[in-house]
Amino acid sequence: MATRRIDTPDGGILAVETSGDPSGRPVFLLHGTPGSRVGPAPRSAVLARMRVRLISFDRPGYGDSTRLPGRRVRSAADDVATIADALGLDRFAVVGRSGGGPHALACAALLPDRVIRTATQVCLAPRDAEGLDWFVGMTPSNERAFRQAELGQVRIAGPFQVRSQVIRRDPAQLIRNLVPELTQPDRTVVADIGIRRMLQSTYRQAFRYGADGWIDDVLAFIAEWGFAVESIRVPVRIWHGADDKFSPVGHSAWLADHIPTAQLYLEPGAAHFGSLKEMTDAIRWAASE
């Protein structure tokens, strides 16, 4: 793996990591919420066999990337374009898991001449999605956090910072806190020691300097995204575990109905963290021509 810091036009820094085949097909992997560039991903040897160059980065406010106050979902397209320019990449694919999904869709909508394909996993729909009851099927903890965020940053900033401090000291704490709300398929996935280590690693990196990235993600999801998903014209693959309670499956169904180029894959017997086992397939699809 190779890590570098890339300057942004607004004077910030994006921490970027690449793995796999240096000369392979470039695929951006946008991490979940909370998360970081060292989040769950196929091993570099697996990526090399797939001839994929995987590029991940800490979204602003996470890990070693500078915070961008007031960022919107659409801001991810600017970040990806900045990184691609610095790496000398003209065209590329984008994959977004969980909280990375909306940001991947921003790239598809706003960088149509550069993005070849986009894949999302367990993605949220826009908060103002017409005809979608946004909270139906969502875990109480997620619904509570989003509803508090709708009352303003001040309502979530303090609690999120406290939680991030606890998780930074003991990254396994976040997983333990989630267990009571996990469906059985998710409990089976996170029981895998390898996956638990990957999750702990991404949480430790995410909260190195606090919860700013986490706070800004949540605020961005409930605000206007800055683009219309209906405008997307590049191929989009949407995957969702049918038993997901963190990002309800109705969100991906809505997206599939409103993105003209989307194909929806619902996996019975899988839930939110099932996306970790499906990620290799998503990347392989995104990198195919």
Residue 154 pLDDT > 90, yes or no? no
Structural domain containing residue 63: 2-287
Residue 15 pLDDT > 80, yes or no? yes
C-alpha–C-alpha distance, residues 241 and 49, integer Å: 27
Q: How confident is the model at residue 177 (pLDDT cuts 50, 70, 90)?
A: confident
Question: What pLDDT score does 71 carry?
Answer: 97
Question: What pLDDT score does 176 carry?
Answer: 87
Task: Count the Cβ atoms, other than its own, within 10 Å of residue 5.
Answer: 13
Question: What pLDDT score does 215 carry?
Answer: 97
Question: What pLDDT score does 174 carry?
Answer: 84
SS (H, E, C) 146-215: HHHHCCCHHHHHHHHHHHHHHHHHCCHHHHHHHHHHCCHHHHHHHCCHHHHHHHHHHHHHHCCCCCHHHH
Question: What pLDDT score does 87 carry?
Answer: 98
Question: What pLDDT score does 201 carry?
Answer: 93
Question: What pLDDT score does 14 carry?
Answer: 98
Question: What pLDDT score does 2 carry?
Answer: 79
pLDDT tens by residue, 250-289: 999 999 999 999 999 999 999 999 999 999 999 999 999 7
Question: What pLDDT score does 175 carry?
Answer: 87
Mean pLDDT, residues 131-140:
97
What CATH number is given to the structural domain containing 216? 3.40.50.1820
What are residue 98's phi and psi, to 5 degrees? Answer: 55, -115
With a CB cutoff of 8 Å and minimum separation 6, the contacts of 283 are 27, 29, 42, 47, 50, 52, 54, 95, 119
pLDDT tens by residue, 48-100: 999 999 999 999 999 999 999 999 999 999 999 999 999 999 999 999 999 99
Question: What pLDDT score does 178 carry?
Answer: 85
C-alpha–C-alpha distance, residues 36 and 69, integer Å: 18
pTM, 2 dp: 0.97
Mean pLDDT, residues 168-187:
90
Question: What pLDDT score does 286 carry?
Answer: 98
Domain count, the chain: 1
| Residue 140 structure tokens | 């109480």
Provide the mean pLDDT of the chain: 96
Nearest residue to 1 via CA among 63, 35, 43: 43
Mean pLDDT, residues 239-249:
97
Residue for token pair 């919420």:
33
Kindly state the percentage of the chain with pLDDT values over 90. Answer: 93
Instruction: Compare 2 and 98 and report the one with higher pLDDT.
Output: 98
Q: How confident is the model at residue 145 (pLDDT cuts 50, 70, 90)?
A: very high
